[in-house]
Structure 1
Amino acid sequence: MSSSRDTRSLKDSLLSEITDEISSLNGSALDEYLVSIGLDPAQLLNQSKAAFSAAIKHQKMARLKDAQQHLKKRNAPNMAVIVDYDVAKKKSLMQDIQKKIEQSGEMTLAARNQNIESEDDLDSFLEACLRLGLIDDEGNLID
């Protein structure tokens, strides 16, 4: 066990010494040192540039993804109010939508064959109308 500990401390000491040496050098002295330990300064520079670019790109992509999720949440219609209506009010809202559709000719109920068989169908229809902008999240018709 002590051999393993000695190996680790030797390894840590060596890494610390290399880090201290590299940190104290710059310019051609740094290049010479890197070459002396078998490293190519130009290749290291390119690798570090690529690593920094990748890190920055990753950070920007994460920020973009967060912004997209925030925007999606902000713009998502709130179905909670409409779903909580009693069935009679939902049916009344559907009839109002159907009247508007007939008057404006904007769309048809062909996708549902004008057939709503359950409250789930009604909720789905109203959600589609909300997403299409025919009604607001309070169930009011939008002109």
Structure 2
Amino acid sequence: MRPLPRLLLFAVVACGVAVTSGRSSQDGAAADKFYKVVDGKADARTYNGYRRYHAGCNHCHGPDGVGSTFASSLVNRPLDIETFRRVVRDGQSTSGSSAMKGFANDPNFAPYIDDIYAYLQARADGALGRGRPKRVEP
């Protein structure tokens, strides 16, 4: 393996990103994707993200991340992973008029931020449609 690909592989693993094949978003995920979708079915992380999202986030951000009158869409204008982690952990206020509380101390969400991100990233990329995704069988 040449030095550059080896360095890239190390960076991906060091960041905790799942390394997957370089197939299209419909049949897999590139190395910069947190999700893997095969034949329209979501991997365990992405499916868990769907479940966690619908346990709490959808009340404000709408079904399937499309937004609502309370909060913005998370699929039409996706955040980068570091910003997403910070906002979910610490919360966010926009001009003091609206606020999202932080979930850093919530055991139902804090450990699963990357799973929720995987689900929303798959939705934003069009790899998953609306509704409950089917799961890749283990």
| TM-score, with length taken from structure 1 | 0.20
Higher strand share: 2
| TM-score, with length taken from structure 2 | 0.21
Q: Report which structure shows greater RCO (CA 8 Å, sep ≥6).
A: 2
